[in-house]
Amino acid sequence: MNSRSSLQHAEGRFDVEVKPQTPDNPAAEGAGLARLSLQKRFHGDLEGTGQGEMLGAGDGKTSGGYVALEKFSGTLGGRKGSFVLIHRALMVGGAPRDWTIEVVPESGTDELKSLSGSMTIAVADGKHTYAFAYSLLP
Protein backbone atom coordinates (compact mmCIF):
# COMPACT_ATOMS: atom_id res chain seq x y z
CA MET A 1 0.00 0.00 0.00
CA ASN A 2 1.11 3.55 -0.61
CA SER A 3 1.93 5.32 2.66
CA ARG A 4 0.81 8.71 1.28
CA SER A 5 -2.88 7.72 1.36
CA SER A 6 -5.02 6.13 4.04
CA LEU A 7 -6.31 2.59 3.86
CA GLN A 8 -10.00 2.34 3.01
CA HIS A 9 -12.38 -0.62 3.15
CA ALA A 10 -15.12 -1.80 0.82
CA GLU A 11 -17.50 -4.69 1.42
CA GLY A 12 -20.38 -6.35 -0.33
CA ARG A 13 -21.47 -9.42 -2.21
CA PHE A 14 -21.15 -10.71 -5.73
CA ASP A 15 -22.80 -13.19 -8.03
CA VAL A 16 -20.51 -15.34 -10.14
CA GLU A 17 -20.94 -17.51 -13.19
CA VAL A 18 -18.07 -19.86 -14.02
CA LYS A 19 -18.09 -21.62 -17.40
CA PRO A 20 -15.62 -24.28 -18.57
CA GLN A 21 -13.77 -23.37 -21.77
CA THR A 22 -12.20 -25.75 -24.27
CA PRO A 23 -8.46 -25.68 -24.99
CA ASP A 24 -7.81 -23.69 -28.15
CA ASN A 25 -4.34 -24.97 -29.12
CA PRO A 26 -2.19 -28.13 -28.83
CA ALA A 27 -0.10 -26.80 -25.93
CA ALA A 28 -3.25 -26.01 -23.91
CA GLU A 29 -4.66 -29.47 -24.66
CA GLY A 30 -1.39 -31.11 -23.63
CA ALA A 31 -1.26 -29.25 -20.31
CA GLY A 32 -4.53 -30.82 -19.17
CA LEU A 33 -5.44 -27.77 -17.09
CA ALA A 34 -8.98 -26.57 -16.55
CA ARG A 35 -9.70 -23.24 -18.25
CA LEU A 36 -12.74 -21.30 -17.09
CA SER A 37 -14.37 -17.97 -17.88
CA LEU A 38 -15.61 -15.75 -15.05
CA GLN A 39 -18.58 -13.38 -15.14
CA LYS A 40 -19.31 -11.49 -11.92
CA ARG A 41 -21.77 -8.86 -10.77
CA PHE A 42 -20.60 -6.89 -7.70
CA HIS A 43 -22.95 -5.20 -5.21
CA GLY A 44 -22.16 -2.96 -2.26
CA ASP A 45 -19.20 -0.60 -2.14
CA LEU A 46 -18.08 -2.09 -5.48
CA GLU A 47 -20.84 -1.78 -8.09
CA GLY A 48 -20.12 -3.24 -11.49
CA THR A 49 -18.97 -6.27 -13.38
CA GLY A 50 -15.95 -8.51 -13.37
CA GLN A 51 -14.82 -10.56 -16.34
CA GLY A 52 -11.90 -12.91 -16.37
CA GLU A 53 -10.14 -16.16 -17.09
CA MET A 54 -9.04 -18.86 -14.67
CA LEU A 55 -6.63 -21.77 -14.99
CA GLY A 56 -6.94 -24.60 -12.50
CA ALA A 57 -5.32 -27.91 -11.61
CA GLY A 58 -6.59 -30.67 -9.34
CA ASP A 59 -10.15 -31.60 -8.48
CA GLY A 60 -11.00 -28.20 -6.92
CA LYS A 61 -12.84 -29.81 -4.00
CA THR A 62 -10.11 -31.53 -1.98
CA SER A 63 -6.88 -30.43 -3.64
CA GLY A 64 -5.61 -28.20 -6.39
CA GLY A 65 -4.69 -24.68 -7.28
CA TYR A 66 -5.80 -21.85 -9.48
CA VAL A 67 -4.65 -18.57 -10.94
CA ALA A 68 -6.90 -15.99 -12.55
CA LEU A 69 -6.99 -12.50 -13.97
CA GLU A 70 -10.17 -10.47 -13.69
CA LYS A 71 -11.04 -6.99 -14.94
CA PHE A 72 -13.51 -5.03 -12.80
CA SER A 73 -15.45 -2.18 -14.44
CA GLY A 74 -17.80 0.06 -12.48
CA THR A 75 -17.57 2.16 -9.34
CA LEU A 76 -15.71 1.86 -6.06
CA GLY A 77 -17.14 4.10 -3.36
CA GLY A 78 -18.75 6.21 -6.09
CA ARG A 79 -15.53 6.59 -8.13
CA LYS A 80 -15.80 5.31 -11.68
CA GLY A 81 -13.19 3.26 -13.51
CA SER A 82 -11.71 -0.16 -13.97
CA PHE A 83 -8.84 -2.22 -12.60
CA VAL A 84 -7.42 -5.72 -12.85
CA LEU A 85 -7.22 -8.28 -10.03
CA ILE A 86 -4.82 -11.21 -9.95
CA HIS A 87 -5.96 -14.29 -7.98
CA ARG A 88 -3.92 -17.21 -6.63
CA ALA A 89 -5.03 -20.02 -4.33
CA LEU A 90 -4.23 -23.54 -3.24
CA MET A 91 -6.74 -26.11 -2.00
CA VAL A 92 -5.41 -28.57 0.58
CA GLY A 93 -7.64 -31.10 2.31
CA GLY A 94 -10.76 -29.32 1.07
CA ALA A 95 -9.80 -25.92 2.51
CA PRO A 96 -8.40 -22.87 0.66
CA ARG A 97 -4.83 -21.94 1.62
CA ASP A 98 -2.51 -19.14 0.55
CA TRP A 99 -5.43 -17.38 -1.17
CA THR A 100 -4.34 -13.97 -2.43
CA ILE A 101 -6.17 -11.42 -4.56
CA GLU A 102 -4.32 -8.22 -5.39
CA VAL A 103 -4.83 -5.22 -7.65
CA VAL A 104 -2.38 -5.40 -10.56
CA PRO A 105 -0.12 -2.34 -10.19
CA GLU A 106 -1.01 0.60 -12.45
CA SER A 107 -4.06 -1.21 -13.89
CA GLY A 108 -6.56 1.39 -12.60
CA THR A 109 -8.29 3.75 -15.02
CA ASP A 110 -10.23 7.03 -14.79
CA GLU A 111 -11.04 7.90 -11.13
CA LEU A 112 -9.41 4.62 -9.98
CA LYS A 113 -6.09 5.31 -11.71
CA SER A 114 -4.00 5.31 -8.51
CA LEU A 115 -5.70 2.28 -6.92
CA SER A 116 -3.79 -0.37 -4.98
CA GLY A 117 -5.14 -2.98 -2.63
CA SER A 118 -6.00 -6.55 -1.74
CA MET A 119 -9.26 -8.46 -1.47
CA THR A 120 -10.54 -11.42 0.47
CA ILE A 121 -13.49 -13.56 -0.56
CA ALA A 122 -15.73 -15.68 1.66
CA VAL A 123 -18.25 -18.27 0.54
CA ALA A 124 -20.99 -19.32 2.95
CA ASP A 125 -24.21 -21.12 2.10
CA GLY A 126 -23.44 -20.66 -1.61
CA LYS A 127 -23.23 -16.86 -1.27
CA HIS A 128 -20.07 -14.92 -2.11
CA THR A 129 -18.92 -11.84 -0.19
CA TYR A 130 -15.82 -9.68 -0.52
CA ALA A 131 -13.77 -7.41 1.72
CA PHE A 132 -11.46 -5.03 -0.12
CA ALA A 133 -8.71 -3.04 1.62
CA TYR A 134 -7.45 -0.34 -0.74
CA SER A 135 -5.84 3.03 -1.11
CA LEU A 136 -6.24 5.78 -3.69
CA LEU A 137 -3.93 8.74 -4.04
CA PRO A 138 -5.74 12.08 -3.83
Whole-angstrom Cα distance, residue 78 to residue 74?
Answer: 9
- Would you say the pTM of this structure is higher than 0.75? yes
Full residue range of the structural domain in which residue 51 is found? 8-135
Residue at 3 is within a domain: no
Mind listing the pLDDT tens digit for each residue in 33-70? 999 999 999 999 999 999 999 999 998 788 999 999 99
Contact between 50 and 70 (Cβ < 8 Å) = yes
Residue 75 CB-density burial (10 A; 0-12 exposed, 13-18 middle, 19+ buried): middle
The number of distinct structural domains making up the chain is 1
Task: Give me the CATH number covering residue 64.
Answer: 2.40.350.10
- Residue 133 contacts residue 8 (beta carbons within 8 Å): yes
In a domain, 119, yes or no: yes
